[in-house]
Structure 1
Amino acid sequence: MDDLLLKTLVVDDEPLATERLQLLLARLGGIDLVGTASDGEAACRMAEALRPDLLLLDIAMPGMDGIDVARELGRSAGRPAVIFVTAFDQFAVSAFEVEAVDYLVKPVDPKRLERALERARAHLSRRGSGAEEAAPPPGSHLEEFWASDLSGLVRIRAIDIDRVSAERDYMRLHVGTRSWLIHHSMAALEEGLDPAQFVRLHRSAIVRRDFISGFQRNASGRWIARLADGTEQPVGRLYADCVREIAGR
């Protein structure tokens, strides 16, 4: 697959966004743009007729949205790889659930797009060699989030997150002395974040493993995690086994 052109279908209801993606793809090379579609229904019809290797797929579209398109195409044999390209960050967990190769937020950075295309090639190569089940594709875990702040949107790498705390319907991502709210569920984040890097310690808390400096018991015998910034995180009763797993005992 590395030596072949990626047959690519661009799906976006905004003509300017479609044009920008076409220009970026032309500069990067290695792409055979087989068509464009402006809504989900047309995307499904064109994908069935053209059999693209890859969809660059918007999410928020009238009628059938991008998540629905990916779910529909995922039922077919030889399904295309999907890279979501959207103006919103809150669909990242849904994108993970439909096995998207990557998730890009507009305006698309050319280098970020290039990395996403490399992932798509690797994903398709593994699938062609029958190794898809043996090796999970890059990007199978959430790698980044986009959060709003006063200046616009901020990209937050998952590996930079110290801990996640729940605040009603929102999750707060803590990075050093700063934090941002995103609209996700704790269960979806637990599933999406790499378990080799993150562990859920409480129904309302996920912590990066190397941010935990130790454990101690309180007066009632409950475990408390000591964190690298000097704060403490109670360990829920349902998650007490995590202490033994982390400590290797």
Structure 2
Amino acid sequence: MSALKVLIADDEPLAADRLVALLDPIEDLERVGIAEDGDEAVALAQAHKPDLVLLDISMPGQDGIEVARTLAASEPRPVVIFVTAYDRFAVAAFEVAAVDYLVKPVERARLHEAIERARIVLANRQPAAAREDEGARWLTEFWASDLSGLVRIAAADIDRVSAERDYMRLHVGERSWLIHHSMTALEKGLDPSLFVRLHRSAIVRRDFVTGFSRNASGRWVAQLADGREQPVGRLYADRVREMTGR
């Protein structure tokens, strides 16, 4: 079995040193670098093609969530384990398919458990060609924080998505939840036969749109099933033509 190539990304030298000390006794493991910020993490990953990235979330430049999204588009795609001082990013971490989420200070046994999980994921992963043959895979669910813990939200149940700075708000009926995501990533991940982007800060489920009208400026406005109106951005006017055939 070839050695597991591991990249560490953490802007705190003491935290990185602790990970090094915990990793050194593990057999069949090769450490390929230590990045001190998100941009360096991406550069080192592109250069060394690690199997696993131990990734902090709060870092200069790209944060850990952004780095994970970037690495998800690379080939071969490394698995990611987040190692952070905060537990509030757990939902965002699993949205980018992290295999585990460790809170500092990391315990040796917990790290070893996470690495074994990463080995299993890598062993069961299909080659890129096989994944492409299966066709596109759209996002089917989200996990969002709630007062009671975590809530599963089926993508097909979402009426619309609105942007709030670095977060996206998922609207389902009268309720809504915030997730740490980007509008561009959601547009690419949601099934385009079900959802349409109508504004730089809004995605709407197609069957939630009941009609279109023009405002005083001549711009399109979507009429929604809940009685709300969604302005259509100038750059997205072609979506109206695509939906209505006019």
User: Scaled by the length of structure 1, what TM-score is found?
Assistant: 0.54
Q: Is the Cα–Cα contact under 8 Å of residues 81 and 120 in structure 1 kept in the other structure?
A: no
Aligned to 1:157: 154
Secondary structure of the residue aligned to 1:179 is strand
Checking the alignment, whether the CA contact within 8 Å between 2:68 and 2:80 is kept in structure 1 is: no
Partner of residue 129, structure 2:
126
1:82 and 2:84 matched: no
Instruction: Report the Cα offset of residue 106 of structure 1.
Output: 5.3
Pick from 159, 168, 174 the counterpart of residue 171 of structure 1: 168
Q: Do structure 1's residue 60 and structure 2's residue 56 form an aligned pair?
A: yes
Q: Paired residue for 2:105?
A: none
Could you tell me which amino acid in structure 2 is paired with residue 59 of structure 1?
L
Change (3 A) 1:167 1:36: same
Residue in 1 that maps onto 2:211? 215
Equivalent residue, structure 2, for 1:194: 191
Amino acid at match of 2:92: Q
How many pairs were matched up? Answer: 202
What is the CA–CA distance in structure 1 between the aligned matches of 2:123 and 2:197, rounded to whole Å? 28
Q: In structure 2, what residue type is equivalent to 1:179?
A: S
> What is the CA–CA distance in structure 1 between the aligned matches of 2:128 and 2:6, rounded to whole Å?
21
Report SS of the residue matched to 2:78.
strand
Show the counterpart of 2:221: 224
**Is the Cα–Cα contact under 8 Å of residues 71 and 78 in structure 2 kept in the other structure?**
no
Change (3 A) 1:73 1:245: closer
Identity %: 48
Q: Which amino acid aligns with 2:207?
A: D
1:83–1:103 Cα contact (<8 Å) kept: yes
Partner of 1:234: 231
- Is the CA contact (8 Å cut-off) linking 2:93 and 2:101 kept in structure 1? no
CA distance 1:170–1:62, change in 2 (3 Å): closer
2:129 corresponds to which letter in structure 1?
A: R
Closer/same/farther in 2, CA of residues 170 and 104 from structure 1, 3 Å limit: same
The 3-state SS of whatever aligns with 2:240 is helix
Aligned to 1:148: 145
5+ residue gaps in structure 2? 9-15, 36-43, 103-116
Q: TM-score if structure 2 supplies the norm length?
A: 0.54
Counterpart of 1:180? Answer: 177
Which amino acid is 2:203 matched to? I
What is the CA RMSD across the aligned residues, in angstroms?
Answer: 5.1
Matches of 1:92 and 1:226 in 2, distance apart? 34
SS of residue in 2 equivalent to 1:240: helix
Residue 242 of structure 2 is aligned with which of 211, 227, 245?
Answer: 245
Residue 63 of structure 1 and its aligned partner are, at CA, apart by 8.4
